Structure 1
Amino acid sequence: MLVSQESHVFSGPLAEDLRLARADATDEEVHGALRLVGADGWARALPEGIHTAVGDVGHALTAEQGAQVALARAALADPAVLVLDEATAESGSRGAARLEEAAAAVLAGRTGLVVAHRMNQASRADRVLVVAEGRIVEEGPHADLLAAGGLYARLWEAYDDGR
């Protein structure tokens, strides 16, 4: 399953949007997926909860909420392999930490391929592949790549100095 940076919120009840991933999901399972990605609070606060219409015909969601919905869909689908292609990028800096935690929660217990430009997200991976000019130029765990002193280490140093 793929969750990309351009998450889409479908028009209609929030629960039905999430059930696109698994049609037989119960309301409790929908709430569980939303809870996993940190969205259950705002979803319960909607006028009709998860039965509130969202998207173009209903309640507008923020970019962060849209990304949470996409991640909750992935949680409901429960794929063995999950690809996150900049899935937390649309949140901006403000919601980045929350979405990175949500992504980590959805990835727990499954194989994941995470395309990320945020260094702190890359640093959490079991194995990092550094791509430059369309080629893999380094690979390994975060600590090993730092110790190697190559491109990844320079990128990490620039990121770390900026924090």
Structure 2
Amino acid sequence: MTGVVLSIAYWVASSLVIGLACAHIPVRILRLLGRSAWWLRGPSPHWYRKAIYIGLWKDRVPEAGRFGGGVSKRHLKSRDRGVLERLYLETIRAELVHTGLLMVQCFPIVWLKGGLLVLPIGYAVVANLPFIAIQRYNRARLSRLVGIEDRRILDE
């Protein structure tokens, strides 16, 4: 039981640390990352709607974009090109948070034993993969809206 309590404390602490660290990544770094073709790869928005029914559940998950001074991605404040470009960059920030968490939240397997070994892996997957999918879905939609396939749009 102590291992489970320690795991929960570790998950909360790692979420806070990684969330705060990523909240302070400068926009210029997000632009630099956004210029990489890697962020533009992946399934189309159509795939996310048909394969994992993202439209049915994405608005029901928590959104912590404002945590640590970040920007909420829940609703479009405006359809202004600058706002859409910033939202695109925020999807990169959010994906960095959840990818980082996915990597570190499996660590409690070090102190858990027996059947509890599946707990950290299950938690890391369930707590992060849906959010990564949402960011990729939103980024694919936003890239079409503002023409980010042309990476020069992300130049300062």
Q: Normalized against structure 2, the TM-score is what?
A: 0.23
Q: Calculate the TM-score normalised by the size of structure 1.
A: 0.23
Greater share of strand: 1
When you count helix as a share of all residues, which structure comes out higher?
2
Which of the pair has the greater relative contact order for Cα pairs under 8 Å at 6+ separation? 2
